Homo-oligomer: A and B are copies of this chain.
Amino acid sequence: MAEPTRWLDEAEQRVWRQLLSADCRLRERLDRELRVGANLTLGEYDVLVHLSEAPGRSLRMSDLAQRLLLSRSGLTRRIDGLVRAGLVARRPCDDDGRGSLAELTPAGLDRLRGAAPVHVGGVRRYLFDPLEGPDGLAGLAHGLDRIGRALGAE
């Protein structure tokens, strides 16, 4: 085999670096806005969103960890913090003695309602407004979809 390595041309290199940079700065910005506007981390916000969309406003820990692209231990600690803050509660799982459910509390739902406008505003401002245009969104969506499939494959 020993393929001779097809290097990246100028344009590809620029796109690649822009992707890393844009994403990094985007996360940073949104996290900061969320912290000052709703006293929530982007990661914590993500937990609340996923729980709020789940039936019963609750999810198994492992399930939630997978959706958040987080290790199980990472989720354990993130939930610890949210429990301390009273935004999430742990419940034992009825049909599996090992399991825990993370459940959104009323306070958690309130906090989420306060945070959502801040977050959505940022996403609009930094992501979708700049993409405004005919091919922008569709092209990006298409590309991301195919990248996602490639990542999910092997």
Which residue of the partner chain, among B8, B24, B133, B136, contacts A69 with CB atoms under 8 Å? B24
> Nearest chain-B residue to A14 (Cβ)?
B141
For this complex, into which size category does the number of interface residues on chain A fall?
35 or more
- What is the interface of chain A mostly: helix, strand, loop, or mixed? helix
Quick check: A142 and B151 within 8 Å, CB to CB? no
Given A123-B16, A130-B150, A139-B139; A144-B22 close (CB under 8 Å): yes
Quick check: A140 and B137 within 8 Å, CB to CB? no
Q: What chain B residues lie within 8 Å of A147 (beta carbons)?
A: 22, 26, 126-127, 130-131
Quick check: A22 and B120 within 8 Å, CB to CB? no
Quick check: A11 and B137 within 8 Å, CB to CB? yes
Nearest-neighbour CB distance to chain B for A153, whole angstroms, equals 9
Complex CA distance for A27 and B20, rounded to whole angstroms: 9
Nearest-neighbour CB distance to chain B for A40, whole angstroms, equals 16
What 9 A-B pairs come out closest when comparing CB atoms?
A139-B139, A130-B146, A130-B150, A18-B144, A5-B117, A23-B23, A140-B143, A25-B151, A22-B147
Residues of A at the B interface (CB closer than 8 Å) are: 5-8, 11-12, 14-16, 18-27, 29, 69, 116-117, 120-121, 123-131, 133, 135-151
